[in-house]
Amino acid sequence: MNRRTLLSSLPAALVWGGGCLGRDEPQARLAWVDLRNDTDRAHDATVTVLDGEETVFEERVRLGTGPQSSKRVFDRPVTGEGDYVVRATIGDERRELIASDHVDGDETCVGVRFLVTDGGSFVIDHVRAMQQC
């Protein structure tokens, strides 16, 4: 192909492929965010939910060591669908979940559990997608 033919075909190729440049991701709803502490040490934690760049939920809590104080569940921290990123921070460690990555067909409602393990690791312990929040 010569240079003129290539250059003349570029505008058409850009128009034809223009719709493929963006990815149409499904939006998610949030059922719950669960924080748990399996250590013998209390921890300060922050849960943040972002919708795009905007913070739509943020809560700071102290996770103790007893049966009641070692867990905290936020039921439906936000309402409606969104491009939610759920972050949990303990000390200088942060874990992050993109809720739409876990949408499965009509199971658009996502729940996530963050855990400080008895070995001291901070992990995303469980993610569940479901139809109903």
**pLDDT at residue 115 is higher than 90:** yes
Which CATH number describes the domain made up of 24-130?
2.60.40
Residue extents of the structural domains in the chain: 24-130
Instruction: State what percent of residues in the chain have pLDDT above 90.
Output: 76
Q: In whole angstroms, how far apart are CA 133 and each of 51, 75, 84, 106?
A: 18, 9, 15, 12
Contact 78, 52 (CB under 8 A): no
Tokens of 21: 């440049």
pTM for the full model? 0.79
- Write down the pLDDT at residue 129: 96
60: pLDDT strictly greater than 50: yes
Contact status, residue 57 vs residue 64, Cβ threshold 8 Å: no
Render pLDDT for 22-58 as a digit per residue (tens, 0 to 9): 446 789 999 999 999 999 999 999 999 999 999 999 9
Element (H, E) at 48: strand 43-51
Average pLDDT score over residue span 63-79: 95
Residue among 25, 93, 16, 82 nearest 55 (CA): 82
